[in-house]
Amino acid sequence: MTIYPGGVMSGALLDLLLPASCAGCGEPGSQLCPVCRALLAGLRAAPAAAHPTPPGLLPLHSCAVYRDPLRRLLIAHKERGALRLAGPLGAVLAEAVRGALTEAAPGPHRHPVLLVPVPSARHAVRARGQDATRRLARSAAGRLGRTGLPCRVAPVLRQHRPVADQAGLGAGQRRANLHRALAVPPRFHTALRGRRLVLVDDLVTTGASLAEAARALRAAGAPPLAAATVAATARR
């Protein structure tokens, strides 16, 4: 038996070892049932907002409120290694990116859009055996490219100091926890300047992570246009 880092097994092996049921609603038969698949396919981007709005938060689009069954699907992908959900969830993120760009920068551009994933803490990536947000960004970029919007993933943000687990922290505590925690290494600065950048994440709660990521990109001379997430706990 092959166990990947962090205890994540391949999707094919899990299908053999465990009874298949929908990660969203528990319906037996497959990891994503037809009803939940149709729900994801029908989601459309809309502006989202954090309250209170953290300083520096970009114009933000998401596709749904963070509640079941989408909540369960995102948790299964991020925390339980349900990697086959990256495709359908990435399609939802692609819709949010397209909505954000339509508002922030309509019209054709010479260079591909660069999706910049908000990085997870190093310890979380090690524990999960994957960077879930980067995986969703790659899926979204592929989807956008196939539908006529050239797109690449630019995982250029780095955590340059330790941060605490955000779970359980309020909005002010999250901002303090993340204050100047992210940076773009100098080797990326020149390549980013003048490009269309969109910050992406699976979920926005208080907006602190997106605001800090935007600050780090601005400090590198590459201000992002907008932000996009699959879901939002904030108002839509």
Averaged over 196-219, what is the pLDDT? 94
Give the pLDDT of residue 6.
41
Flag whether pLDDT at 2 surpasses 50. no
**Its pTM surpasses 0.75:** yes
The reported pLDDT for the residue numbered 85 is 96
Predicted pLDDT of residue 120:
80
Element of type H or E holding 232 = strand 226-232
Give residue 16's pLDDT.
47
Of the pLDDT bands very low, low, confident and very high (cuts 50, 70, 90), residue 8 is very low
Question: Does position 1 have pLDDT exceeding 50, yes or no?
Answer: no
What was the pLDDT predicted at 178? 62
What kind of fold does domain 44-232 have according to CATH?
Answer: Rossmann fold (3.40.50)
Query: 59: burial class by Cβ within 10 Å (0-12, 13-18, 19+)?
Result: middle
* pLDDT above 90: percentage of residues in the chain: 62
